[in-house]
Structures are given as structure tokens and as C-alpha cells.
Structure 1
Amino acid sequence: MATDNCDTVNMDPAMDLLSDEDLEREAEGFKEQGNAFYVKKDYAEAFNYYTKAIDMCPKNPSYYGNRAATLMMLYRYREALEDSQQAVRLDSTFMKGHLREGKCHLSLGNAMAAKRCFQRVLELESDNSQAQQELKNAESILEYERMAEIGFEKRDFRMVVFCMDRALDLSSACHRFKILKSECLALLGQYPEAQSVASDILRMDSTNADALYVRGLCLYYEDCIDKAVQFFVQALRMAPDHDKARLACRNAKALKAKKEEGNKAFKDGNYESAYELYSDALTIDPNNIKTNAKLYCNRATVGSKLKKLDQAIEDCTKAIKLDEIYVKAYLRRAQCYMETEQYDEAVRDYEKVYQTEKTKEHKHLLKNAQLELKKSKRKDYYKVLGVDKNATEDEIKKAYRKRALLHHPDRHSSASPEEQKEEEKKFKEVGEAFSVLSDPKKKSRYDSGQDLEDDGMNMGDFDANNIFKAFFGGPGGFSFEASGPGNFFFQFG
């Protein structure tokens, strides 16, 4: 009855002059106007007129139902939920009210509450197709939540993101699903996308502790630790029992402190201490990929200072595995490869760097590595003579005298044919080495990596005996004579 729907409430005093029938008629007029605006999709005006109708008759469930529908079109689901709940409080058999309440719960991600609403509709009308479909949607969301929970426990963050995307197709206004998705995006290293989701929520609710935490997490993983701590602290102000924010804040502060200690030790030249401090820092948070990549590279720098070159190369490799475009790690590893004469690997790393950053310095480093690689593929005449690359002319002569006498074929005349062949080969190499390193022009070309054949020197036709004779000189002959078992001395004629 009209009197049931239009009981007097605190209204404009002028309304006291209207009868219940007049109030109901006035309210119906506002409702009809609201309906007209709703059809035109002018939801803001529809909302205003439905509100006027409610003010006239605050106990009419359909007015709340209509305003709930309008609020849903305006994406104001929490307000729509309140109106739909009021509608079914006024009339527990109001199916549209139950459906809209369920839809609001669904949009907000409250699948269990939505499920109860749709089940209530089916109790009232068992063949209601809309309620049947929405009930299936609610059950789908519950399944996606279950799968996401398992995925998170297994650290299968891609699975969680997939489940949350599917759930958000049905629960577009659920902040909880968006937060979980953004947290997993951050853990996957997809920081811009994660920040975007968290920032959208903060624009709507600046006090959302979960969104503040995820925003801080993104900054933390991007090695912006000071800014990250500010967000974690803010999240803890909003929710003092936020365990994730508290742990992240503690890790961020510890990581920063340990890294700074390591940097100071390195600058002070205390390399052993720096190495240990960087190692300690690496144990704090395995999930912080970017910071850990820097820590591995820092430890590699210390390792190279300590001549732990193999360990330094391994640390650079770990840094690159965490950050595939980390130029500094490629440069450090390439330098270590150069020092350990692994020129193929050094060239590969310098090529990667030059492709990323085409600077003159990187081009020079690449060319130098390519030159050393080319030089490494020829005979190392310095090693053949057993001298340093900075050996003097006298040191080269002394080395030749020693090696030539050691490998001269006459000295090994009683050896097996295989041993004689090997010694002849070494004797020839010693002669080649002396021929090149004793000639300033050839030595210069050799040191610069140029081809000696350009000087007309064909090593294939080289005669080591001519070098030997020229070096030892004298008109007389030379021979090896035994001075005891296994001992020989060179005698001039």
C-alpha cells in the first residue's frame, strides 16, 4: 500500500501538507523521469531523480533497486550494494534486488556473498536464467582464487596473473584481485605494469595499504630503496599489522646498509672485507633481482682485484642472468676474459656491449679484443722462447741460445724417430721466433697483430739451420760431444 511505502520521514516541511497518495504520485513521477534519463544513458541525472523518489517514499524497494542499477552503470558498486541490500531488506522477495546485490558482490570480488544472493533468486524462481549464469560466474571466480592461492605458494607468479586476469573479467572493481596481480607482476620484474595497477588504486583510495606496499615493492626492486622505504612506512601507518610491508621495509634497510658498507670497504682498499660484505648482502633478498645483479657485479670487481678471475667471471655471469642488458657486468666479464686470455669470449661480450651502446670507447675495446683474438691464433713466439713480451734484445738472444742448443737435432741423434721429429719441430719454432723478435720491423708487425707474410716471410719454407749458423757464426764447424752420460756441450771447430 502507498502508506507502507511513504511513511513520513525528515523531509521538507512543505511535504507535510501532502497526503500519502500525493507523495506516492510525486515519487512515481520522479521515478519515471529517472527511467527516461536511464534509457538515454544519462545516469547522473537518473541518479538524481531516483534519489528524489526515495526522499518522497523511502520505503519503496523498487526505487532503491533502480538507483542501485544506475550506480552500477556509474561503476559505484559499493553504493549500489548498499541500495540493493536496502531494497531486499524492504522486500525479501524482490528478485531484482537480490540479483543486483549479487552483481555488486561479484564486481567487488566477493564471490561467496554473490553466490548466496543468486541462490536466493533461484529459491524464488528456479528457472531464472540470469541467476543461473551469474551463479556459474561466482563459482568460476572462487576456482580462480583457489588456483591463484596455489600458484602463489609455488611462486608460479605467471599463473597467479593469469587467474587474476580471468577473475577481473568478472570482478572488474575488485581491488584485492588487482593488488595480487600487481604484486605478482612486480615479482616477475614487470615493474611499469605493476606500478600502473597500484597507482590506479591509489588514485581512488590513497590510504590503501596493499597498494602502497606494491608501489614500494616496485621501487625496491628497481633499486630505488630510499623511496621504497617511504612507501613501506606509509603502508604500515595505514595498516600497522601489514606483515609484507614490514618484512620488505626491513629487507630494504638491511640491503642498503650492507651494500653501503661493502662500497666503503672497497673504496678503502679493504677488498677481502668488501667481498664478504657483498656476499652477505646477496643473502638478504633473492627476489630483488636488480639490486642483486649490481651486488654480483660489485663482487666481481672485488674478485678481479683479488685475482679471483674465475670467480669474478662467474659473478658477472650471474649478474647478467638477472639483468640481460647490464652493460657494466658485460664489460667487467670481458675484462676478466681478456686477463685470462679467453679472447673469443671477450669479443662476444664486447660485441654485445657495442650493440647496446655504440660509443668510441666500446668500439676501441672491441677492436682491441679482436686483435688479441687474432694474435692468439698464431704461434706465440714469446712463449716459444720463454720470455716476457717486454723482453729486451739481450734477453731474447740469451733465450734463443738456450732453446736452440736444447732442441738442436744433433743433440737428439740417439733418440727415437718420434722424439727426433718433435725436437726438430721445436728447433724450427725457436728459429722462427728469434728471426721475428730479433728484427725490430718484424717484431713491431708481429706485436700489432699484422701478417708477417706481407714482409715476404714464408714460415713454411723457413730454414732454422741458417738462423743457427748466423747466430753462432765463425768459420769453423760446430758439433755436440758427450762429456758424460746424458750430458752434451757445444764445441766450436
Structure 2
Amino acid sequence: MTESRDPPTGCAMFGIYSGMFRRSRRSASMTSLHRVNGGGAASPASDSDAQEASPAHRERKGRQDRRKGVGGGATRTTATAAEPASEYTGMAAELDKMILDHQRVKGTTQLVRATSGNMMLHRNLGNLNAGGGGSSARNSVERAAKQANERKASPLTNGYAFSGMGNIVKESAKPSGGGDLCRALSHRTDPEKLKEMGNEEYRQGHYAEAVALYDQAIMMDARRPAYWSNKAAALAALGRLIEAVGDCKEAVRIDPSFDRAHHRLGGLYLRLGEPDKAIYHLKQSSKESTGADVSRAQSVKSRIAKSNDARRLKNWITVLQEAQAAVSDGADCAPQVMALQAEALLRLQRHDEADALFTGAAALRFGVDESTKFFGTFGHAYVLIVRAQVDMAAGRFEDAVATAQTAFQLDPSNREVTNVQRRAKAAAAARLRGNDLFKAAKFAEACAAYGEGLEREPGNAVLLCNRAACHAKLGRHEKAVEDCSGALVVRPSYSKARLRRADCNVKLERWEASMRDYQVLIQELPENEDVKKALSEVQAKLNSQRNGGAPARSQH
């Protein structure tokens, strides 16, 4: 195991001390313990007699005899008993007293370790034992193996609670422990064992646990490229693709011929919409990659290029088709490809679909800093201005202003970014002014304010619906229906606009048109009693008209 480059932790310092402590003979240790706790100076012989009387000591002595022979063990015991006890003070004596005090109060043989930040309990730490009698390295290994088997058999979730991950874990209930939480101390575990445990967690779909285990293995030996590559796979499964790329890059830096890491890195770059880098790494992994992998990356490259060309020509149908094809070919987590789709959907008056790309369950969520670092300033600024426009279309004007401002800070010289920022500010200000005027019952002025916002953001469903409310208050139901219809063209699921149009059609006695809207609303709002009541009344009016009532007005 390589020497750690980091300063020693609390566990490391304790390990250093334990090495110093083991230099003193056990007889001296027991004598000092007795002195620290106020007793007289016990002789080595009396100490040995006390140990001989305990079953635990007899069992340990038997094991030593079997290893060395009865005569050898007896000779060693006699020599120890004959040696004078050497007294020691300072940190060693303080630790002895702390151990003994804890044993006396808690009635346990566990060691207690005080640190600057917490208190942790552990049954064995290094070769220090809570029981009496001398201890050899072989005994420590045997005890560690026995404890490992006991932990493996315990019903702890996922079976990794004692792997030294630093997680807060809870042991199985014991009468003396009371189910207290403790922080698991780091074990001197083989990093290969940690990797195997991580692989098992990964196979079971426990990706966060796998990441933690791979991290622990990396802390113990950061020169193994497989640890970095496996961690990248678990991060990718958690959707943390940019982090996964960083770990894969570290793996290929350590071993430039590591085919699996190159293959994994190529796949990550493909998903993130970086086909040139994907092609390079896929070609570096000849044992892992196939010709089909490279062809797919080349197809993504071609699709993105065609989509960008069509955008310059404002051919939004082609933009959408090529961007969707790029996603199908593998660029399913590429923010710029997603932005191309969203912008095309906005221009094609399909605002709900554009909004779903940014707010749906499968939406991409990358931080501004990591995206800027990974995709570059210009690339991320484009994603942000598209998002700002989607926010405006959905009525999230404050979010749109904030997002556009961030894009402007990234790329202030970009004319397109500047234009979107100005539009967002103007539309947000117009909507806010219109809302204030509407609350003050100044409906004509509010109508004009919303109209100013529509000049900046034509076809905005929220501004159209708000202006329709002003028209309805002024008795201009025909104009209100027109604005609501315009809002529903771009956002068919906009329930407020549909409800307002249904109400205005009732005022115009357009029963069939009103009933169609209420029937859609009852599907979207099945528990809404007002909608149920309104639908029932409209159906009664329509039945009355069909049964010889007054002729209906012309339908809109």
C-alpha cells in the first residue's frame, strides 16, 4: 500500500500511538493501569495470577501453547513474571485511564476513542485489546476474521456497513448497546475487496453505495485505473455524467492503454453530445468498441451539424427532426441537442412540448458551473437563452429574466443573448404592470399593458390569457374568446385559458362550443365541482335549444 499524501487523520494518529503503546510489556501496562486508578503497586506475579484465574486467559494461553509448545509458553510466562514492571506516564497513562473508566461505567470491553469532533466506539483498534493478556499479530488477524464473519452474518442492509466507508451505521440491537448510532471506523481493508464489494452493489442497482465503496478503494490506492473506471460507471448510472467523464479521464491518464476506460469514456462523450471526442476514445478501445459504436458516433456528429445548419436557415422542422435523430443515435443527455429541439418546438408553436424538455421527469439537470466548464461558455449560453424563452412561454417570467441574465454574463458580446435578455425583461415588466392595474380594476389600462408585453413576446399564452380576462371584464367577450383560442393553440393543456373561453362562450350563448371546452376540462379536472356544475347547465341549455327552444346564435 502506498503512503498517503494527505496529513494523518485521527485514526492514523491513533495507529501511531498504538505502535508505541505495544512496545511496553503487558505486565507494565497492567501495573500502570492499577497505579493510575489509585491502587498500590501490584507485583507482576499477582497480576499474572489474576490473569491465570480468568477463563479467557486460560483459553488464550492454550492457543499460545498449541502454537509454540507447552514448554515454550511456560518459559515465556515465567520470564515475563520475573521482569520488573516499568512505570510510564503521559499520553499512554491517560489513554489507559480513559479505557478503564469507560469499561467501569459502561460495563463493556469496547475501546473508547476521543477525537476533536466526535466519540467513537470500536471493539478492536489495531492490536490494542480490551481484554487482559498479551496479544500477537496472529491473534489480531484471527479476531478480525471472526468479527468479519459475524458482521457478514448480521442483518445489516446491503452488507457494507462495516467496510470503512465513514457512514453512520446502526448495529443490531443489543441489551447493553441500546441501538446507539456510531460512526464506523476505517478498516485496513484490501482495496481489491472494496472494489469487489462495489461491483456487487452495482450489479444489484445500488449505485450510490457502489460509488462510496469505489471511493474508499481509491483513497487506499489511487493508482488503480479500474477503480476510477468502475466509479465512473456507477456515477453514470446515477445521471452524474460530467463527474463520470472526469473519473474516466483519470483512468486513461493512469493507463493510456486501458481499453475499457476508453470505451466507457467514448460512450459518455457520445451521450453528452461530443461526438468528436467520442470517436477518438472509441477508436482507442479496439478490444471493447465495435465498428457500429464508431458509426453511431459519426451519425450523431452528422445529425448535430445538419440541425445547426437548418437553424441558421430557420428551417425549424428539419432542426427538430435532426435533433431528435441525434438523441435516438445516442446523444440522449446532450444539453445543446435538447436546446435545439426546444427552440424548434417554440418556433413551431408547440410550447407545452418545449417546456416538457426542461421540466419533465427526464429533463437534464446540470449545474451552471460544471456545464460551462464542460461545454464551454458559448455552448452553455445558447442552452440558457433557449431555456429563458421556454420559461417565458410557460409564464415563468422571473425565472426567464434570471436565466437570460446568467447567459448574458457568460457571453455578453453575443447579439442573440442580448436580444433574449431584453425581451425577457420587457415581457416580465409588462406582465407585472398589467397585473397591478388589473388588481386596481383598471381593466383598459391593464389590457394595454399586456398588449405591450405581447409586442415583445408574440403568442405568449399567459399574456394572451391575462388580456382575455381584461376583455371579459370590459364585456368584450368576442375578443376574449380570440385571445384564449390563441393561447390554446400554443399550449393545449392551459386549463385557465380553456375555462375562460368556455365561460365567455356561455355569455355568448354558444352552447356547443362551451360544452366541448367543459368536456375537456372535466377530463383534466375530474374533481372540480364548479366544472361539473357548469357542464351540467350547458348541457341543459343545449337540450332545451334542440327541443324547440330559441334558435342558437352562430357558432364561433
Normalised to the residue count of structure 1, the TM-score between the two structures is 0.51
Are residue 166 (structure 1) and residue 308 (structure 2) matched?
Answer: no
**Distance change (3 Å), C-alpha of 1:261 and 1:172:** closer
**Distance change (3 Å), C-alpha of 1:12 and 1:259:** closer
Are residue 130 (structure 1) and residue 320 (structure 2) matched?
Answer: no
SS of equivalent residue, structure 2 residue 515? helix
- C-alpha deviation, 1:358, in angstroms: 3.1
**Distance change (3 Å), C-alpha of 1:69 and 1:334:** same
Are residue 143 (structure 1) and residue 302 (structure 2) matched?
Answer: yes
1:454 is aligned to none
From 486, 495, 511, the equivalent of 1:347 is: 511
From 269, 279, 283, the equivalent of 1:105 is: 269
- C-alpha deviation, 1:270, in angstroms: 8.7
**Distance change (3 Å), C-alpha of 1:314 and 1:85:** same
SS of equivalent residue, structure 2 residue 427? helix
Supply the AA of the counterpart residue of 1:162.
Q
From 59, 64, 78, the equivalent of 2:245 is: 78
- C-alpha deviation, 1:37, in angstroms: 4.0
Q: How far apart in 2 are the matches of 1:11 and 1:262?
A: 60
SS of equivalent residue, structure 2 residue 458? coil
- C-alpha deviation, 1:94, in angstroms: 5.3
From 355, 365, 375, the equivalent of 1:201 is: 365
Aligned length: 328
- C-alpha deviation, 1:112, in angstroms: 0.4
1:332 is aligned to 504
**Residues 22-74 of structure 1 deviation map (CA, whole Å, 9 limit, x = unaligned):** xxxxxxx96754664465345543443355334xxx5xxxx335533442333
Structure 1 unaligned segments of length 5 or more: list them.
1-5, 15-28, 123-127, 339-345, 379-493
How many percent of aligned residue pairs carry the same amino acid? 14
**Distance change (3 Å), C-alpha of 1:287 and 1:197:** farther
**Residues 256-279 of structure 1 deviation map (CA, whole Å, 9 limit, x = unaligned):** 4445666749988795x8776655
Aligned pairs for 1:421-432 (under 5 A) are none
Supply the AA of the counterpart residue of 1:71.
A
Q: How far apart in 1 are the matches of 2:362 and 2:408?
A: 16
Aligned pairs for 1:185-200 (under 5 A) are 188-190=351-353, 191-192=355-356, 194-196=358-360
**Residues 464-484 of structure 1 deviation map (CA, whole Å, 9 limit, x = unaligned):** xxxxxxxxxxxxxxxxxxxxx
Q: How far apart in 1 are the matches of 2:395 and 2:289?
A: 50
From 225, 228, 233, the equivalent of 2:397 is: 225
2:463 is aligned to 291
SS of equivalent residue, structure 1 residue 130? coil
From 350, 358, 365, the equivalent of 2:531 is: 358
RMSD: 4.8
- C-alpha deviation, 1:166, in angstroms: 1.5
**Residues 209-259 of structure 1 deviation map (CA, whole Å, 9 limit, x = unaligned):** 667656654442222323432443355456656766644442233234445
Supply the AA of the counterpart residue of 1:188.
H
Supply the AA of the counterpart residue of 1:111.
P
Instruction: Assess if the C-alpha contact under 8 Å between 2:505 and 2:511 holds in 1.
Output: no
Supply the AA of the counterpart residue of 1:68.
S
Instruction: Assess if the C-alpha contact under 8 Å between 2:262 and 2:281 holds in 1.
Output: yes
- Indicate the structure with greater helix content: 1
Q: How far apart in 2 are the matches of 1:334 and 1:162?
A: 42
Instruction: Assess if the C-alpha contact under 8 Å between 1:312 and 1:333 holds in 2.
Output: no
Normalised to the residue count of structure 2, the TM-score between the two structures is 0.46
Structure 2 unaligned segments of length 5 or more: list them.
13-188, 203-209, 237-242, 373-379, 522-529
Instruction: Assess if the C-alpha contact under 8 Å between 1:72 and 1:80 holds in 2.
Output: no
Instruction: Assess if the C-alpha contact under 8 Å between 1:107 and 1:174 holds in 2.
Output: yes
**Residues 266-318 of structure 1 deviation map (CA, whole Å, 9 limit, x = unaligned):** 988795x87766555433223533433444x257548855xxx8766655543
Q: How far apart in 2 are the matches of 1:313 and 1:199?
A: 34
SS of equivalent residue, structure 1 residue 283? helix
- C-alpha deviation, 1:178, in angstroms: 4.8
**Distance change (3 Å), C-alpha of 1:96 and 1:87:** farther
Supply the AA of the counterpart residue of 1:142.
K
**Distance change (3 Å), C-alpha of 1:334 and 1:149:** farther
Supply the AA of the counterpart residue of 1:133.
A
**Distance change (3 Å), C-alpha of 1:260 and 1:197:** same
1:387 is aligned to none
